[in-house]
Structure 1
Amino acid sequence: MKALQTDVCVIGGGPAGSALAAQLSALGNSVVLIERAEFPRRHLGESLTPGVRTLLESIGAGDVLEKAGALAVESVLVNWDDGLRERIGPESRGTLVNRGRFDALLLEHARSAGVQVLQPAVARDCSPFPEGWRITVDRGGETIHITARFLADASGRTFATGGRKRRTGARTTAFYAYWQGSDLPRRPRIEAGSDAWYWGVPIPDGTYNTLVFVDPRTYATDRVQEMVARSGLLEGCRDIHLVAQFQAADATPYIDEESVTDHSIKVGDAALSIDPLSSSGVQKAIQTALSGSVVVNTLLRRQESRGAAIEFYRSSLRDASERHRRWAGEYYGAAAATRNAEFWRRRSSVDTPPEPVSTLNADDFADEQLTLSLDLKLVESPCIDGEYVTLKTALQHPALDGPVTYVGGSEMPPLVRRLRVGMKPMEIALLWSDLVPIRTGLALTGWLINNGLLIRARDGKAHRLKHQIASFRV
């Protein structure tokens, strides 16, 4: 029997667990990570959005994609609501990876950052006590007792620590299988069927993954191969065969309403699962890990900021869940417009779509006198400030998804407090020049204009705002 003491115990060595563990170690915490599977392992989620690279670079793991042999995506074939077309654009230019290799490299990054990795090992029991957690681990017949001040659940949909999951979309099952052959597709493909949707992904190891997303009440595994054959996923393919039979995985989106407490946190799929339509699962998992690492660091070291840290994490998950829910609903709605199946109706957005935001050209305002919108308010909001979560003043406006403190690394409230009624864009940039470069000041002014926080000063309105702007300087 072996005993370990640590600041944080992380359960799960996927992208979320590895990123969280590495960041917490970099912040000076001792970390033990428990992973039940041996790596490399085959895993779904091989299509990565462009933002994943930026996130990896931010934690010093920017070379993981290259080491994993990732393939760059130049375009995606789309057959959704207006016939087959090729989608080329920034949103299409992600990467395709072998998740077994990718996950193994991220876990190695955590190990090199000082994380003690137990693998393969299984957390048999997790018991809270007033100062933290006691975890009993089985590693190859050896029992290890871990005492941790904090427990992080990164176990995905297995939910090592339980919780309260609230479904945020229709129940969905993904049936998937891998194919081999000499004539497989080389580009990802997404397609809407009559009552299902399809996703095809070429993998760097030479296989091709076909996925079918269905309502679990209406389809069984024995029908799926026939559905794939009727779709365009294998169009033009010859000399191909299945590596193994189709398997099923739950793909229902949800959010955990107990995502963080004084001594525990959930990251990745343990906290939030978004609709697979966005292919953003890995990106969102790493994002929760990075924000979660600051939240955990705050809870461990700055108890006076406990409330702000917990509210920040919970609200950031709620906001992310709602944004993805609305986006997916609108995208499903586009397919539902030409399909009458319940599958599409259940997934389509029933909300009133937001008014489109027109992008304004800040140059058009060069000679305009500007003033702050009457709808703009300054509020106290929790946000990340370095290694901790703190309460800071933020901008609140109906056009923003939520309170905003920083834009492009610049803290906005101190800049806004300086504004006077009737200033022109260049005058504003010069006013801020002791805090930000003039070029940055003009860009921030453009951001305020585009989001409706700065508007043209009109006769009869400017004088009503003088007291408001004065109060901003307090």
Structure 2
Amino acid sequence: MPDMDNAVDIIIIGAGPAGLTAALRLQQLGYRVQMLERSATWPRPQIGEALTPGVKNIIDMLDANEALAAVPHLAGLSTRLRWRSTTPEIAGHGDAAVINRAAFDAALLQLARQRGISVCMPARIEDISGTAGDWQLHISTPAGRQQITARFILDAGGRSNGAQQYACAPRLSAMWVELEADQVFNNIAHNIANEMANLTQVEALEHGWLWGTRLPDLRYRVMLVSDPQTAHQKMPGQAENWLRWNCANSELFKTIAQVPYASRLQACTATPYLALDSWQDGRLKLGDAAFALDPISSSGVEKAMRFSLQAVVAIHTLLGSTDSNRYECHDRYELARHFFEQRLTETCARHQYWTQSYYAQAWCSEHPFWQSRAGIATNCADGAVAGDDHPLVRAMHEQSAQLRDYQPAELKPLSTFNPCQPLRIHPAASLAESYCVVDDRVQKQLALSHPNLERPISFLENQALFPNLNFLWQPQPLAHVLLKLEQSMGRQTSQKITAWLWQRGVLESLA
């Protein structure tokens, strides 16, 4: 069959949540999108069933609530933890949701097709040639061979073992299996069965941790996350025995240690990493192709989708202008690249900081598995060529150090505010440049930096702080402050911003 030529703005490789989020958002912004998915079987079986609350905002932005309404899910689940101590505790209080990930992905894909996004599946990429702005892809599909021309390529094709991966923590592996609900719940005490059916459970053990939850199809999934080297040393080639042994030596999962498995045991690497080649001229990586997070947070799906939205902002900054001035084009390129890489390293740094802190809180934190994951050092994955001297790795370490050094200030009660005293910006404050999103494009804005702020801020209450606050470098009466701010943002907003900055010590009162 002869080649069929197609021209689009963006080609997206991979139809998981990251790729589909990018496709739906790009189409909202008016781009022609072509999706390529290599899998012949759809929907694909997936792990990562837990959805954190932030996914709701992303679904709202994509206007996808109706499409996902029928996806099987369990909402309002709390979490039972045996983590900080050997006594289990209830956490979350109904924040967690567990979904059928295959159905979730399938619903997003169907929505993309309904909105006119072209999807080729199964599709195998034979060759990529060209340069940024003029890519040519030759692909094979059941319908024949095709050539597609695109201005930009997004790789959301999932985890790979490329040499440009930097491991953000010591190695982890995950193994999981599903059990029939009646096998889990019928042979244990009614009160325990009821709790297991309505709670997600997480338990720290000497050599790793266990996660378990009831799935929307009423099966029960249990997962063990551990160090693959320890598993090999203790029970080489005996993955099922290793999982059962850990369940048997747990408090929350011992009742299911010998329950027959209803699915085959599966395993995958779970080491968090950063792909150092995520930005290339005209080609970006998304989702697991760009980074992977430690599964302890259960936020991997949300973070992948959120980062896709940020990548779309970078692309729209590059492609969404008709200005062909080469200096303007260079400025847009630098804005987009810095924004993309900053968001990428920040995502990994924040997660690394949080997971190290969380691993340090475990009741068994004196054991080697936990000590290695609670430390501040990172190491490269086996076979990786990049190290601490790479700019992205240095940026990630710097951001992690800033998070460790940051100490939130105690908020001053508004009842102690004296309206008769003049206000000014605290002398410890300074101005910094920050990359912000304005009208779906990256802009460089002045930001207010202060030791009491976790990061420099450019906007509060959707209002740019500068130049609005420039006059406050000198002492001003409160009435003048509010009157001047009201002219640009209204009375209620000006009062909120003034109070917020004063409570955090960014504004100070002068006697």
TM more than 0.5 = yes
The residue type paired with residue 414 of structure 2 is A
**In 1, are the aligned partners of 2:408 and 2:454 still within 8 Å (CA)?**
no
**Are residues 202 and 372 of structure 1, via their aligned partners in 2, closer, same or farther at CA, if it must alter by over 3 Å?**
same
SS of the residue corresponding to residue 120 of structure 1 reads: coil
1:290 aligned residue: 309
2:410 aligned residue: 358
Q: What is the rounded CA distance, in whole Å, between the counterparts of 2:27 and 2:313 in structure 1?
A: 11
What percent identity do the matched residue pairs reach? Answer: 30
Matched, 1:225 2:247: no
1:170 aligned residue: 170
Q: What is the rounded CA distance, in whole Å, between the counterparts of 2:88 and 2:496 in structure 1?
A: 35
**Are residues 239 and 210 of structure 1, via their aligned partners in 2, closer, same or farther at CA, if it must alter by over 3 Å?**
closer
**In 2, are the aligned partners of 1:74 and 1:88 still within 8 Å (CA)?**
no
Q: How does 1:74-153 map to 2 (within 5 A)?
A: 74-89=77-92, 93-129=95-131, 131-140=133-142, 142-153=144-155
Question: 1:193 Cα shift?
Answer: 0.2
**In 1, are the aligned partners of 2:14 and 2:158 still within 8 Å (CA)?**
yes
**In 2, are the aligned partners of 1:429 and 1:439 still within 8 Å (CA)?**
no
Question: 1:395 Cα shift?
Answer: 2.0
Question: 1:27 Cα shift?
Answer: 1.1
1:16 aligned residue: 18
Q: What is the rounded CA distance, in whole Å, between the counterparts of 2:293 and 2:508 in structure 1?
A: 36
**Are residues 64 and 417 of structure 1, via their aligned partners in 2, closer, same or farther at CA, if it must alter by over 3 Å?**
farther
**In 2, are the aligned partners of 1:71 and 1:204 still within 8 Å (CA)?**
yes
Q: What is the rounded CA distance, in whole Å, between the counterparts of 2:89 and 2:479 in structure 1?
A: 42
Q: What is the rounded CA distance, in whole Å, between the counterparts of 1:371 and 1:241 in structure 2?
A: 68
**In 1, are the aligned partners of 2:76 and 2:96 still within 8 Å (CA)?**
yes
Matched, 1:334 2:353: no
**In 1, are the aligned partners of 2:166 and 2:273 still within 8 Å (CA)?**
yes
Matched, 1:276 2:295: yes
Q: What is the rounded CA distance, in whole Å, between the counterparts of 1:126 and 1:176 in structure 2?
A: 36
TM-score normalised by length of structure 2: 0.82
SS of the residue corresponding to residue 228 of structure 2 reads: coil
Q: How does 1:16-95 map to 2 (within 5 A)?
A: 16-37=18-39, 38-89=41-92, 93-95=95-97
**Are residues 261 and 228 of structure 1, via their aligned partners in 2, closer, same or farther at CA, if it must alter by over 3 Å?**
same
Matched, 1:348 2:360: no
**In 1, are the aligned partners of 2:8 and 2:32 still within 8 Å (CA)?**
yes
Q: How does 1:243-282 map to 2 (within 5 A)?
A: 243-282=262-301
2:488 aligned residue: 435
Question: 1:404 Cα shift?
Answer: 2.2
**Are residues 107 and 130 of structure 1, via their aligned partners in 2, closer, same or farther at CA, if it must alter by over 3 Å?**
closer
**In 2, are the aligned partners of 1:55 and 1:287 still within 8 Å (CA)?**
yes
Match of 1:374 among 418, 427, 450: 427
**In 2, are the aligned partners of 1:210 and 1:233 still within 8 Å (CA)?**
no
**Are residues 170 and 251 of structure 1, via their aligned partners in 2, closer, same or farther at CA, if it must alter by over 3 Å?**
same
Q: How does 1:383-398 map to 2 (within 5 A)?
A: 383-398=436-451
**Are residues 188 and 307 of structure 1, via their aligned partners in 2, closer, same or farther at CA, if it must alter by over 3 Å?**
same
CA RMSD of aligned residues (A): 2.5
Q: What is the rounded CA distance, in whole Å, between the counterparts of 1:135 and 1:382 in structure 2?
A: 33
**In 2, are the aligned partners of 1:22 and 1:114 still within 8 Å (CA)?**
no
**Are residues 84 and 419 of structure 1, via their aligned partners in 2, closer, same or farther at CA, if it must alter by over 3 Å?**
same
**Are residues 373 and 199 of structure 1, via their aligned partners in 2, closer, same or farther at CA, if it must alter by over 3 Å?**
same
The residue type paired with residue 49 of structure 2 is E
SS of the residue corresponding to residue 171 of structure 2 reads: coil
**Are residues 242 and 125 of structure 1, via their aligned partners in 2, closer, same or farther at CA, if it must alter by over 3 Å?**
farther
**Are residues 420 and 192 of structure 1, via their aligned partners in 2, closer, same or farther at CA, if it must alter by over 3 Å?**
same
**Are residues 359 and 175 of structure 1, via their aligned partners in 2, closer, same or farther at CA, if it must alter by over 3 Å?**
farther
Matched, 1:414 2:467: yes
Q: What is the rounded CA distance, in whole Å, between the counterparts of 2:490 and 2:92 in structure 1?
A: 31
Deviations 1:43-68 (A, max 9, x none): 11100111111111012113354321
**Are residues 47 and 429 of structure 1, via their aligned partners in 2, closer, same or farther at CA, if it must alter by over 3 Å?**
farther
SS of the residue corresponding to residue 135 of structure 2 reads: strand
**In 2, are the aligned partners of 1:163 and 1:257 still within 8 Å (CA)?**
no
1:313 aligned residue: 340
Bigger drift between 110-119 and 438-447 goes to: 438-447
Structure 2 stretches lacking a partner, 5+ long: 186-192, 233-238, 322-328, 377-400
**Are residues 455 and 17 of structure 1, via their aligned partners in 2, closer, same or farther at CA, if it must alter by over 3 Å?**
same
**Are residues 334 and 63 of structure 1, via their aligned partners in 2, closer, same or farther at CA, if it must alter by over 3 Å?**
same
Bigger drift between 309-318 and 107-116 goes to: 107-116
**In 1, are the aligned partners of 2:78 and 2:96 still within 8 Å (CA)?**
no
Bigger drift between 355-364 and 322-331 goes to: 355-364
Question: 1:231 Cα shift?
Answer: 2.3
Match of 1:200 among 197, 212, 218: 212
**In 2, are the aligned partners of 1:378 and 1:413 still within 8 Å (CA)?**
no
Q: What is the rounded CA distance, in whole Å, between the counterparts of 2:372 and 2:318 in structure 1?
A: 40
Question: 1:7 Cα shift?
Answer: 0.9
**Are residues 340 and 126 of structure 1, via their aligned partners in 2, closer, same or farther at CA, if it must alter by over 3 Å?**
same
Deviations 1:217-266 (A, max 9, x none): 11152412321233244355699532223211111111122222330111
Q: What is the rounded CA distance, in whole Å, between the counterparts of 2:463 and 2:429 in structure 1?
A: 18
**Are residues 441 and 126 of structure 1, via their aligned partners in 2, closer, same or farther at CA, if it must alter by over 3 Å?**
same
Matched, 1:325 2:325: no
Q: What is the rounded CA distance, in whole Å, between the counterparts of 2:479 and 2:215 in structure 1?
A: 51
Q: What is the rounded CA distance, in whole Å, between the counterparts of 1:50 and 1:191 in structure 2?
A: 22
**Are residues 424 and 34 of structure 1, via their aligned partners in 2, closer, same or farther at CA, if it must alter by over 3 Å?**
farther
Question: 1:130 Cα shift?
Answer: 5.3
